[in-house]
């Protein structure tokens, strides 16, 4: 979807970053701007900074930064388009009024949502009619009560291949609209069938409370596959939704229990466990992680007890390992899944399972130990290598030490050997990393010179103070910067001062795209100049701060020129460059 620059600017102007962020966390004003606890990660000491002047934010804890749009994208787990829409709603701006030429995509999405609502209503009514007796009998057998049926809008599709299609066409929708919504499919003979027939229907609802698709469970062994989801549409991507997450978010849950099936989630909700969600028949993905990372601080994996469930649990944990989310594993005994366990042993026993759940690393170590004691010598060696590979993924040094220590004690293996193997793994990983980096040459060579890049970043941040700029602009120009992105920022700063415009304004940041803005904001904070550069200017104190990075940049220019001349064998010009290098050193010492 396209948004005109005028529309985006209107949305930005109508939403003050301090006002919107204050909906998520309490901000206090100080001499630097506004500060509070970060709403993007859990922290006890405020490290989240907001500038009303620049309309940007930065967190020293999680390093997230950017404009209000970036904040909404992070906090609400929305893409750019949906973030603009979100802010439009807050400001009460009519999207269609400003985006007539692109309203077709928006209208198409709304059409699919409307069709899904009608379909959900149709399936629900069928379930609660004489045609839905088979479906209702199945649900009652699974002990799903009327309240849950209504809460989750569970429905039923009969064996009629055209029931929903006929219903929707009578209302006025054409076949193309129904097919594009993922509710019907065109067969090779030209006939159009309902996607779902002979199934219990579970509407899939996103965090914005839209019905985006459906999951269907077959009640007849001849109707395959047993579980079927809506195919991907304009509003539905299987790997970007979790069944039940809308309720977890609504209840402000800080932890999630991830299970496998729709009925697992419904059974847990019936027993007041409202933080349960399920993947839609696929493995837990990075997209799922993006969906939950700003809402929760811990995840309990509670997959089915079979081998496939254990593999799914491990795959999910591997995705979660690179986040700050705590991972725990709930082990189900003597039952195939959560639903069956609760029906046999009751919710109180399941609550005990939650309380006694193992840290994922502890769970894995126990798993390795169980394997080790029943294996042959060669198998044992393979298991030990797997353990070393696994421990290598642990960032927490103390935790790593404890696991190796305990593992060596319980298995009677020297911890020195395990640590030695660990060091080998580290060397191998470093070699892989170096080999990967050797392939990256050319433009990235500049980025490797950390001293030069740091100098450029420092000068850019200093130039946000006009008096600093007046000193710097006499010494270097924008094209003296090596990194292309830094050149772009420098040119913009020079242009703004030349036009007598304020670089400390939202207008300045509007020049840059959505990927560039957070980099600039982070640059300003990390160089300790912050966004809120004081207008007080002490020439003596600032002199060293300014001259040192200027020297580094000038030396780099001269050295590059010297290398060129040396290659050509131009001795006379080469001597001139050496002379200039000495002059730069002398100027720096004199502070001029």
261-302: pLDDT as tens digits: 999 999 999 999 999 999 988 889 989 998 898 778 899 999
Rounded Cα gap, residues 221 and 294, in angstroms: 41
438: pLDDT strictly greater than 50: no
- 104 and 318 Cβ atoms separated by less than 8 Å: no
Burial label for 494, CB within 10 Å (0-12, 13-18, 19+), is middle
Rounded Cα gap, residues 462 and 468, in angstroms: 6
pLDDT of residue 238: 83
User: Whole-prediction pTM value?
Assistant: 0.67
- 446 and 453 Cβ atoms separated by less than 8 Å: yes
Q: How many Cβ atoms from other residues are within 10 Å of residue 254's Cβ?
A: 12
Classify 423 as helix, strand or coil: helix
3-state DSSP of 368-403: HHHHHCCCCHHHHHHHHHHHHHHHHCCCCHHHHHHH
pLDDT of residue 376: 86
Rounded Cα gap, residues 58 and 247, in angstroms: 30
137-183: pLDDT as tens digits: 999 999 999 999 999 999 999 999 999 999 999 999 999 999 999 99
pLDDT of residue 167: 97
- The residue with tokens 């649900």 is 139
Alpha helices in 439-570 (DSSP H): 444-448, 450-462, 466-472, 484-498, 506-509, 516-526, 539-568
354: pLDDT strictly greater than 90: yes
171-222: pLDDT as tens digits: 999 999 999 999 999 998 989 999 999 999 999 999 889 999 999 999 998 8
Alpha helices in 15-79 (DSSP H): 17-21, 68-75
pLDDT of residue 145: 97
Strand 358-359: give its sheet, edge to edge.
276-278, 255-259, 298-301, 326-329, 358-359
Torsion of CA 54, 47, 467, 478, to 10 degrees: -70
pLDDT of residue 533: 41
384-422: pLDDT as tens digits: 888 888 887 777 777 778 878 888 888 888 888 888 877
pLDDT of residue 564: 62
């Amino acid at each position: 979807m396209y948004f005109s620059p005028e529309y985006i600017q209107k949305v930005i102007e109508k939403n003050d970053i301090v006002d919107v962020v204050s909906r998520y966390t309490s901000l206090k004003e100080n001499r630097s701007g506004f500060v509070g606890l970060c709403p993007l990660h859990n922290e006890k000491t405020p490290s989240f900074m907001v500038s009303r002047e620049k309309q940007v934010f930065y967190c020293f804890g999680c390093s997230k930064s950017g404009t209000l749009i970036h904040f909404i994208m992070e906090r609400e787990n929305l893409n750019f388009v949906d973030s603009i829409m979100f802010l439009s709603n807050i400001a009460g701006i009519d999207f269609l009024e400003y985006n007539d030429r692109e309203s077709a995509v928006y209208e198409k999405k709304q059409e699919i949502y409307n069709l899904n609502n009608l379909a959900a209503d149709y399936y629900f009514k069928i379930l609660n009619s004489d045609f839905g007796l088979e479906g209702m009998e199945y649900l009652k057998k699974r002990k799903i009560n009327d309240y849950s049926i209504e809460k989750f809008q569970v429905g039923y599709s009969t064996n009629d291949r055209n029931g929903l299609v006929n219903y929707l066409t009578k209302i006025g929708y054409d076949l193309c609209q129904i097919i594009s919504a993922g509710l019907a499919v065109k067969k090779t003979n030209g006939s159009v069938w309902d996607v779902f027939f002979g199934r219990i229907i579970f509407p899939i609802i996103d965090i914005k409370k839209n019905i985006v698709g459906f999951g269907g469970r077959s009640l007849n062994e001849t109707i395959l596959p047993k579980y079927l989801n809506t195919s991907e549409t304009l509003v539905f991507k299987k790997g970007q939704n979790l069944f039940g997450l809308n309720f977890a978010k609504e209840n402000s849950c800080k932890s999630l229990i991830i299970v496998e099936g729709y009925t697992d989630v419904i059974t847990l909700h019936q027993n007041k466990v409202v933080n349960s969600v399920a993947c839609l028949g696929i493995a837990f993905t990075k997209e799922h992680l993006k969906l939950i990372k700003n809402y929760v601080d811990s995840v309990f994996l509670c997959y089915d007890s079979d081998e496939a469930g254990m593999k799914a649990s491990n795959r999910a944990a591997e995705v979660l390992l690179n986040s700050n989310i705590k991972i725990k594993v709930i082990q189900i005994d003597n039952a195939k899944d959560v639903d069956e366990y609760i029906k046999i042993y009751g919710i109180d026993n399941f609550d005990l399972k939650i309380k006694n759940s193992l840290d994922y690393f502890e769970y894995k170590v126990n798993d390795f130990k169980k394997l080790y004691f029943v294996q042959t010598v060669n198998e044992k060696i393979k298991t030990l290598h797997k353990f070393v590979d696994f421990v290598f993924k642990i960032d927490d040094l103390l935790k790593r030490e404890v696991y190796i220590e305990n593992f060596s004690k319980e298995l009677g293996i020297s911890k020195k050997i395990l640590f030695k193997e660990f060091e080998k793994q580290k060397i191998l990983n470093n070699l892989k990393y170096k080999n990967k980096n050797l392939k990256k040459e050319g433009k990235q060579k500049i980025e490797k010179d950390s001293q030069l890049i740091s100098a450029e970043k420092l000068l850019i941040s200093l130039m946000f103070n006009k008096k600093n700029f007046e000193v710097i602009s006499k010494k270097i120009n924008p094209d003296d910067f090596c990194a292309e992105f830094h050149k772009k920022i420098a040119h913009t700063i020079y242009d703004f001062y030349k036009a007598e415009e304020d670089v400390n304004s939202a207008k300045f940041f509007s020049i840059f795209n959505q990927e560039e803005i957070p980099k600039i904001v982070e640059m300003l904070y990390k160089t300790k100049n912050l966004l809120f550069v004081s207008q007080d200017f002490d020439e003596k104190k600032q002199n060293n701060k300014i001259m040192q990075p200027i020297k580094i940049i000038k030396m780099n220019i001269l050295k590059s020129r010297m290398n060129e001349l040396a290659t050509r064998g131009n001795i006379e010009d080469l001597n001139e460059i050496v002379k200039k290098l000495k002059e730069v050193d002398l100027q720096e010492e004199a502070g001029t």
